[in-house]
Amino acid sequence: MTETFTLEYVQRLRREAATSRVKAKDGDRDRQVAVRLSAENIALRDRVTRAEAAARTAQQQVARRDQTINALRMQLNERNK
């Protein structure tokens, strides 16, 4: 399944990853929360990485499409001369 990511979505993921960092304090509960947030942070970073890769792939596909369209236009213009 291919995921589609918008720039706003990637920026939101980055903000969530940045704000989920918590320092562990004394006590088991605080450490558990810190460990859970750390795991969520790693997962968010992975999602950001995938989103950025998908965005780059989409940009490359658009560039190839644009090149093909331009080449076809040039051929059409040559035929119409």
Residue 16: exposure state from Cβ atoms within 10 A (0-12, 13-18, ≥19): middle
pLDDT at 17 (0 to 100)? 65
pLDDT at 75 (0 to 100)? 95
Q: At what angle are helices 28-80 and 7-19 packed, to 10 degrees?
A: 160
Whether 53 is in a domain gets the answer yes
Could you say which residues of the chain have pLDDT below 50?
1, 22-25
pLDDT at 25 (0 to 100)? 46
Written as six digits, the tokens of 67 are 């090149």
pLDDT at 64 (0 to 100)? 96
| Whether pTM exceeds 0.75 | no
Whether 1 is in a domain gets the answer no
pLDDT at 11 (0 to 100)? 73
CA distance 35 to 43: 12
Structural domain containing residue 43: 7-80
37-50 exposure pattern, b = at least 16 Cβ within 10 A, e = fewer = eeeebeebeebbee
User: What is the count of structural domains for the chain?
Assistant: 1
